[in-house]
Amino acid sequence: MRTMQTAKNIIEVNNLCKTFKIHKRATGFKGALKDIFHPTYEWKKAVDNVSFSIHEGEMVGFIGPNGAGKSTTIKMLSGILYPDSGDMQVAGYVPYKQRKEYVANIGVVFGQKSQISWDLSPLDSYEVIRHIYRIPPKQYKENLARYTELLDMGSFIRQPVRQLSLGQRMRADIAAALLHSPKIVFFDEPTIGIDVVGKDKIRKFIRTLNQTDNITMIFTTHDMQDIVKTCERLIIIDDGQKLYDGSLENVKKGYGSSRIIEAEFESLPISLDLSHAVVSDADNSGLKKRIAFSTDEVSVNEMMSALMNTHNIKDVSIREPEIDAIIRDIYEGRIVMN
Amino acid sequence: MTRYLSFAGIKFRSKMAYRFDYVLGILNTLLSFVVYWSIYKALYNGASEVDGVTFSMVTTSFLISLGLSAAFHKNEMFLQDKIKQGTIANELLKPVNFKLRMLFEDMGEGAFHVVFNFLPTVIIACFFAPIQAPSGARDVLLCLVSVILGYVVLWEISFIVQSWSFTLFSVWGLITIKNVMVNILAGAYIPMWFMPDWLRSAIRFTPFDSIYFTPVQLYLGELGGKEIVFHFARQLFWITALWAVGEYFWRSGIKKLVIQGG
């Protein structure tokens, strides 16, 4: 056993890089023929010089658009993929070098790949897992009872997995990844394709576990509500590079002064000549406008009177920008975080 | 090690669920045995022996090698499917040696087929074919040990070809070629005694005759004390050598692994 390098950081990643070779297939019969003799390849940098560290017990949201390199990073962190360059140390191990010993300390949930056997019931699959991880009988019994209750699995734990709904299967999968009491759990899109109620059950469970068991968790998702409801810290990556690493609060705070007024006007034409605001259509009628501005430049009061002095307004609402909109702006490069 | 044995045990038990499968398996094995037996019966045409090989030796040899090759048949698309669908990721997340686990699970399946397919076939065949009785309990025991070692040799050859799916992505064609090669060179179709001398001496330098022919020779009591040691040593040599080769392909494979599908 190695001793942990630092007491605080359980995950340490420095300048991680991974490049994939992509076979570019030519189209058509002629192209296919040519392809056999002269295949063309393209190199794609999936992860490009990424560094971060994570404390023990932290819960970190890992987000980025499709193809940003999130899953590749998770797969390197969990010892499945070999990095091209860079260092990483997780729970005192170098994942890809000490895979067999290392993976006993972690749990991984893939939303898109079930780990439990299609033909067996979750309970039978858990039995196999018990052997693989050599979980002591007492710990196994306790964990099983606890997860069955928390994830509400009692009704389907003895049914073959192929007969389960996606939400049930996902919960069964989450329990499977946790039976051996891992120190770190990676969730790779655990809520993908699951309904609102199911998502809520999963989020609550993850939150509870993080708080009571002090398990370090990394969570990738495309649903910002997953992050808002579970994580305090956020890492955003795109094109293989880290765009943001900090608290979720900070992301929102950066926009704390911005407001959006949505106004529905009585009649056309609408001529808005506002120097400190961005005006856009809120629907197709042309009567509903969205006016975004910062309260540092114009007060809500001033803005409202500017609107009301020139037009008749039927309905109005004032909002803070949603986290989704902020993230979209970050992905699309409209906002540069630092 | 007990953990890996339990993988074999779990596989053995889970196979019990498919009972209809093994009834059909027995019929299948019996049928191919009867076909080969009839061909050699016609070839012998009542002669008691050919080149010092008796008809009952040939029959027994066929029963053992054909029966075992049927019993040891397994899903050889296993690794390719895992790599294609990306579920290899799940296997790599388990704190076990993947290759050893796969070997033991396959051994569990093989043991199941030996008990529920091979043994019934042997018992049924004894009623109508001149099967030679073993020369002693010691020979049966030695034969059993060499069957297990022979299985590992066979498994490792399969694993090496399967591990090429990391680079080739599709190995079905290669597996088919390999299976024909193994069955011919290991003496499942033509007993080793009747092969041309040059081929037989060439095979002696390959792992193929340690798969079925060593068990056959041990069962028939054809080998003397020193030869027994030599044959076991050869089986162990091939197990070690092929394991190293398989390990090389496996390691270089997972290094360039791309997880398909998200």
pLDDT band at B211 (very low <50, low <70, confident <90, very high): very high
* pLDDT exceeds cutoff 50 at A7: no
The percent of chain A in helix, strand and coil, each rounded to the nearest 5, is 35, 30, 35
Q: Which one of A81, A127, A128 has the shortest CB-CB distance to B257?
A: A81
- Are A71 and B86 in contact (CB < 8 Å)? no
- Are B10 and A108 in contact (CB < 8 Å)? no
Average pLDDT of the segment spanning B64-87: 89
Pick among B2, B21, B94 to test the A interface (most A CBs inside 10 A): B94
* pLDDT exceeds cutoff 60 at A5: no
Q: What is the pLDDT, as a whole number, of residue A168?
A: 92
Average pLDDT, chain B: 89
* pLDDT exceeds cutoff 50 at A288: yes
- Are B92 and A82 in contact (CB < 8 Å)? no
Residues in chain B: 262
pLDDT band at A298 (very low <50, low <70, confident <90, very high): confident
Q: Is residue B37 one of the residues assigned to a domain?
A: yes
Q: Is residue B262 one of the residues assigned to a domain?
A: no
Q: Is residue B261 one of the residues assigned to a domain?
A: no
pLDDT band at B238 (very low <50, low <70, confident <90, very high): very high
Name the least confident of A149-153, A315-319, B124-128, B232-236.
Answer: A315-319
Q: What is the pLDDT, as a whole number, of residue B174?
A: 94
Chain B residues touching residue A80 (CB < 8 angstroms): 89, 92-93, 257, 259
Percent residues over pLDDT 70 in chain A: 95
Q: In whole angstroms, give the CA distance from residue A1 to residue A105.
A: 12
- Nearest CA to CA, how far is B26 from chain A (Å)? 25
Q: What is the pLDDT, as a whole number, of residue B104?
A: 94
Q: Which two tokens stand for residue A97?
A: 């070098």
Q: What is the pLDDT, as a whole number, of residue B261?
A: 54
Q: What is the pLDDT, as a whole number, of residue A338?
A: 46
Residues A200 and A33 sit within 8 Å (Cβ to Cβ): no
User: A145 vs A137, A138, A150, A157, B121, CA distance in Å?
Assistant: 12, 11, 9, 11, 46
Q: Is residue B260 one of the residues assigned to a domain?
A: no
- Classify residue B188 by its DSSP letter: S
pLDDT band at A1 (very low <50, low <70, confident <90, very high): very low
Q: What is the pLDDT, as a whole number, of residue B249?
A: 94
Closest CA to A176 of A99, A74, A107: A107
Name the least confident of A49-53, A303-307, B225-229.
Answer: A303-307
Does residue A47 or residue B19 have the better pLDDT?
A47
Average pLDDT of the segment spanning A195-207: 90
Average pLDDT of the segment spanning B113-139: 89
Residue whose pair of structure tokens reads 């560094």 in the numeric block: A51
Residue B249: other Cβ atoms inside 10 A: 18
Average pLDDT of the segment spanning A297-319: 82
Average pLDDT of the segment spanning B203-221: 92
Q: Which two tokens stand for residue B214?
A: 């060593």
Chain A positions touching chain B (beta carbons under 8 Å): 20, 71, 75, 78-82, 99-104, 106, 108, 110, 112-113, 115, 120, 127-128, 131-134, 189
Does residue A337 or residue B124 have the better pLDDT?
B124
Residue A23: what are its φ and ψ, rounded to 5°?
-80, 115
- Are B95 and A104 in contact (CB < 8 Å)? yes
Cis peptide before A269 (omega within 30 of 0): yes
Q: In whole angstroms, give the CA distance from residue A51 to residue A88.
A: 9
Average pLDDT of the segment spanning B59-86: 89
Work out the widest C-alpha separation in chain B, in whole angstroms: 66
Burial of residue A330 (CB within 10 Å: 0-12, 13-18, 19+) is: buried
pLDDT band at A276 (very low <50, low <70, confident <90, very high): confident
Tell me: the pLDDT tens digits for A68-100? 888 899 999 999 999 999 999 999 999 999 999
Average pLDDT, chain A: 85
Range of the domain at B37: 2-255
Chain A residues touching residue B75 (CB < 8 angstroms): none
Q: Which two tokens stand for residue A100?
A: 């067999």
Number of domains chain B is built from:
1
Q: What is the pLDDT, as a whole number, of residue A326?
A: 79
Average pLDDT of the segment spanning A106-114: 90
Q: What is the pLDDT, as a whole number, of residue A193?
A: 86
For residue A87, what are the β-bridge partners?
A: A14
Closest CA to B60 of B228, B178, B229, B213: B213
Average pLDDT of the segment spanning A197-203: 90
Average pLDDT of the segment spanning B39-68: 88
Q: In whole angstroms, give the CA distance from residue A194 to residue B261.
A: 19
Residues A60 and A234 sit within 8 Å (Cβ to Cβ): yes
- Are A113 and B7 in contact (CB < 8 Å)? no
Pick among B93, B101, B250, B252 to test the A interface (most A CBs inside 10 A): B93
Q: Is residue B136 one of the residues assigned to a domain?
A: yes
Q: Which residues contact A266 (CB under 8 A, 6 or more apart)?
A: A287, A311, A312, A313, A314
- Classify residue A314 by its DSSP letter: E
* pLDDT exceeds cutoff 90 at B234: yes
Pick among A115, A120, A179, A222 to test the B interface (most B CBs inside 10 A): A115
Name the least confident of A29-33, A47-51, A133-137.
Answer: A29-33
Chain B residues touching residue A100 (CB < 8 angstroms): 95-97
Average pLDDT of the segment spanning A319-329: 77
Average pLDDT of the segment spanning B229-252: 95
Q: What is the pLDDT, as a whole number, of residue B239?
A: 97
Average pLDDT of the segment spanning A124-135: 91
Q: What is the pLDDT, as a whole number, of residue A41?
A: 81
Average pLDDT of the segment spanning A20-26: 77
Average pLDDT of the segment spanning B236-250: 96
- Nearest CA to CA, how far is B95 from chain A (Å)? 5
* pLDDT exceeds cutoff 60 at A3: no
Q: Which residues contact B145 (CB under 8 A, 6 or more apart)?
A: B232
Chain B residues touching residue A104 (CB < 8 angstroms): 95
Q: What is the pLDDT, as a whole number, of residue A254?
A: 67
Closest CA to A73 of A92, A55, A93, A95: A95
Q: What is the pLDDT, as a whole number, of residue A6?
A: 43
Which residue in B has a C-alpha nearest to residue A185's C-alpha?
B93
Amino acid, res. B246 = G
Average pLDDT of the segment spanning A16-28: 82
Q: Kindly indicate whether the ipTM for this predicted assembly is greater than 0.85, answering yes or no.
A: no
Tell me: the pLDDT tens digits for A151-199? 999 999 999 898 999 999 999 999 999 999 999 999 999 988 889 888 9
Q: What is the pLDDT, as a whole number, of residue A2?
A: 42
Q: Is residue B181 one of the residues assigned to a domain?
A: yes
Residues A96 and A143 sit within 8 Å (Cβ to Cβ): no
Element spanning B251, H or E:
helix B225-255
Tell me: the pLDDT tens digits for A213-268? 999 999 998 888 888 888 889 998 988 899 889 888 888 776 666 778 888 888 77
Q: Which residues contact A310 (CB under 8 A, 6 or more apart)?
A: A271, A272
Tell me: the pLDDT tens digits for B149-188? 999 999 999 999 999 998 888 899 999 999 999 999 998 8
